[in-house]
Structure formats: structure tokens, C-alpha cells
Amino acid sequence: MKFTELYDELKSIYGELGKWWPGAREEIIVSAVLTQNTNWQNVEKALVNIRKYCQGDILQCLGKLSEQELSELIRPAGFFNIKAKRLKNLLQWIETYGYDLDKISTLDTENLRKELLSINGIGKETADSIILYAFEKPIFVVDAYTKRIVRRIFDIEYKEYDESRKLFEETFTKDVKLYQEFHGLIVEHAKALCRTKPLCEQCPIADCLYKSQKSKSGE
Ligand code: SF4
């Protein structure tokens, strides 16, 4: 399979996913931090706590809390002390814009990314998730699932995050909806079939280098 065919192939398996990351942009920003090293069910539990506690703008509401109070609220997401610290740093940055997300959105992608990456605890995957899903700017999110699937199907291994990101951005049109859905399809495929221990015999992707090498070696 050609690299350019991956999106269509996954879409034919999983159908239209649309934006995929749920919630309004305020929740997406918060959940991009909460989802680090945990599953979505735990994120959702923390979001339920936040929704219960905050009436109105959740960013302004959370911004008023101490780190200790934040960590209590987001406890179900795990690693709550470190995540509270990261969230606090992110909220302080948003506060410098008067919690005005439209104002932040006027930054171009490169400067927005630069500012996000200068916040302590915000790495590339988190920054790019916020840029793509909350601010709807075209940047490709690379996570461990993306690297795994690209490595297995095409035998392409990039060590550097930005190398993998550019592989997508240089191959596919810079299109927010396509990038959002494509990343979602990759996550769905990695969870359903291309797991740590892949379920190749159930996988409809015929043209996969990992699968063909495995069948050659008789595994
Ligand atoms: S055939 Fe196996 S390794 Fe290839 S994409 Fe499917 S599950 Fe992953």
C-alpha cells in the first residue's frame, strides 16, 4: 500500500469519524493535559468532576483554583499532582490572553506552537492536540499509535517527533478536518486491531509489511 492510501483504507474500515476528539474547545484544552498516560474513561471521570464544580467558563473557573484544589478535582485522571501543575501552567498562559480563546486563535500555527511548547509540562503531542482540535489549525498529531502503525505497515521508523509529523504534512493537504479525522482513525485502528500484540488475522489491511513478513517467517 502507498502511504497516500492509508487515510482512505482506514476510513473504509472505520467509516466517517468526523472531528473525533469530543467536547467544546475549553474541554479539549483541559483534556489534552488530562489524557497524558491514561485512558479516556479516566479523563471523562475527571471532566464530570470539572463540569459539576464549574458553572460557566471552565477555564476561568479552573484558573482560580490552587494546584491542590485542581489535583483533587482531576484525581480520576491519574498522575493528578503532576497534571494539576501542568494544567495550572497552561491556565496561567491562557489568563495572559484574558481567557479569550479567539484572541489566542489569531496567532499563526507556528507562533501558537512556540508559545504552547514554552509552557512547562506541555510537550509536542499535547501542544499539537490543542492546536488541531481546540484551535482547529492544520498540524498533524503524532502519538505512539501513529508511530506504531506507520512502522508496521510501511516499515518507516522516525525517532524524532517532528520528522513523523512532517511525513504526514508533506504527503497530505493541510486540511484541519482531514488531520483531525485521520488521527482519530489511527487511534481507533491501534486500539481495535493494531494493538501492542497485533490482531493481524482479523485486520482487513492486506498490504502491510509487518503482516507479510510475519507470514513469510511462518509465525
Ligand atoms: S495487519 Fe497487523 S500489523 Fe498490519 S496494520 Fe493490521 S493489525 Fe497492524
- What is the pLDDT at residue 94? 98
Superfamily of domain 25-134: Hypothetical protein; domain 2 (1.10.340.30)
Q: Which fold has domain 3-17+141-216?
A: Endonuclease Iii, domain 2 (1.10.1670)
pLDDT of 165: 95
The amino acid at residue 14 is Y
Contact 194 CB / ligand 1 (< 6 Å): yes
Residue 62 near residue 95 (C-beta atoms within 8 A): no
Q: What is the pLDDT of residues 62-93, one digit of tens each?
A: 999 999 999 999 999 999 999 999 999 999 99
Which ligand 1 atom is the nearest neighbour of the CA of 193?
Answer: 7
Which DSSP state fits 130? I
- CATH topology match: 3-17+141-216 vs 25-134: no
Instruction: Give yes or no for residue 18 having a pLDDT over 90.
Output: no
Cβ(150) – ligand 1 distance below 6 Å: no
Instruction: Tell me the CA distances in angstroms from 14 to 9, 134, 189, one per residue in order.
Output: 9, 23, 8
* pLDDT value at residue 219: 63
In the chain, domain spans? 3-17+141-216, 25-134
Measured in Å, residue 211 CA sits from the centre of ligand 1 at 6
Tell me the pLDDT tens digit for each residue of 139-187.
999 999 999 999 999 999 988 999 999 999 999 999 999 999 999 999 9
Q: What is the DSSP letter of 202?
A: G
